[in-house]
Amino acid sequence: MKLYDSKTSPYCRKVMVLAHEAGQVDALTLDYVAGTAVSPGTLPVSVNPLGKIPCLVRPDGPALYDSRVICAYLDDLWGTNLYPTGTRRWETLTLEATADGMLDAALLWVYEVRLRDEAQWNHGWRDGQAAKVVRALDALEARWLAHLHGPLDMGQIAIGVALGYLDFRQPVGAWREGRPALAAWYETFSQRPSMLATVPVE
C-alpha cells in the first residue's frame, strides 16, 4: 500500500504511530508530498480531490483519506484492536475527535501565520483557534486522565500526536503549565518507540 505522507503532518503521524505499534511499517510504501491549504502541491488530486494528506492507496478499492478513516481501516486490517468495543469505544472515538479538533485548530493557526503576511493576519480569528486548543487541553487535564492511562487505543495515540504538534509548532506556548497530570502522561507516552520513531522533522 502507498501512503502519501509528510514528516511534519500530525495526521500522517497518527497513521505512522499505528503502523509502528502494529509492527507493519514495511507494509506501507511512503511517498512524501508537500502541499498547503492553498495548493495541493505534489499530491495528485486524482487520489484525493480534497488535496489533503494522509491518503492511502490500497490494492482492493479506491484510495482512503482522512486519518480517522485510514486508522480505522488499518486497525481492522492488521487486527490491532485500537478501537475497543463497548463503552470505551465511544470514549476512544471522542478522544480521537478531540485530538483531531486540536490539530485542525492548530493547523489553521499555523497556516494563518505562515501563508499570510503579518499585516494580513486576522488576530481575532487566530486567537479563536488557539482558544479551542486551550479549552481542549483543560478538558484533557480535568476529565480524560483515567482513559489516557488505560490500555493503548487510538484516542491516546491521537492525543499524543496532538501534544507533540503543540511542541513542534507552538500555537499556544507552554501548554504543560497548569496541567501537571497531562504533562506527566505525555512525558511517558512520548517515549514509546512508535512516538520516538515518528518525531516531526522539517
Ligand X SMILES: N[C@@H](CCC(=O)N[C@@H](CS)C(=O)NCC(=O)O)C(=O)O
Considering the rule CB under 6 A, would residue 11 count as an interface residue with ligand X? Answer: yes
Report d(CA 157, CA 169) in Å as an integer: 18
105 near 113, Cβ under 8 Å?
Answer: no
Considering the rule CB under 6 A, would residue 21 count as an interface residue with ligand X? Answer: no
Considering the rule CB under 6 A, would residue 100 count as an interface residue with ligand X? Answer: yes
Give the 3-state secondary structure of residue 101: helix
Considering the rule CB under 6 A, would residue 155 count as an interface residue with ligand X? Answer: no
Q: How far is CA 177 from CA 38, 109, 180, in A?
A: 34, 20, 7
- Considering beta carbons, is residue 52 or 126 the nearer one to ligand X? 52
Only one residue has cell 517515549, namely: 191
- How far apart are CB 169 and ligand X at their closest, in Å? 10
Question: CB 7: neighbour CB atoms within 10 A?
Answer: 14
Residue list 40-59, contact with ligand X (CB under 6 A): 51-54
Stretch that binds ligand X, among 33-41, 72-80, 89-97, 151-159 (CB under 6 A): 33-41
- Considering beta carbons, is residue 142 or 199 the nearer one to ligand X? 199
99 near 164, Cβ under 8 Å?
Answer: no
Report d(CA 101, CA 108) in Å as an integer: 11
Q: Which of 23, 29, 34, 36 contacts ligand X by CB under 6 A?
A: 36
Give the 3-state secondary structure of residue 38: coil
Q: How many residues bind ligand X (CB under 6 A)?
A: 14
Considering the rule CB under 6 A, would residue 66 count as an interface residue with ligand X? Answer: yes
Residue list 103-122, contact with ligand X (CB under 6 A): 107
Q: Which of 22, 30, 37, 145 contacts ligand X by CB under 6 A?
A: 37
With 0-12 / 13-18 / 19 or more C-beta atoms within 10 angstroms meaning exposed / middle / buried, residue 191 is exposed
Considering the rule CB under 6 A, would residue 31 count as an interface residue with ligand X? Answer: no
Q: Which residues bind ligand X (CB under 6 A)?
A: 9, 11, 35-37, 51-54, 66-68, 100, 107
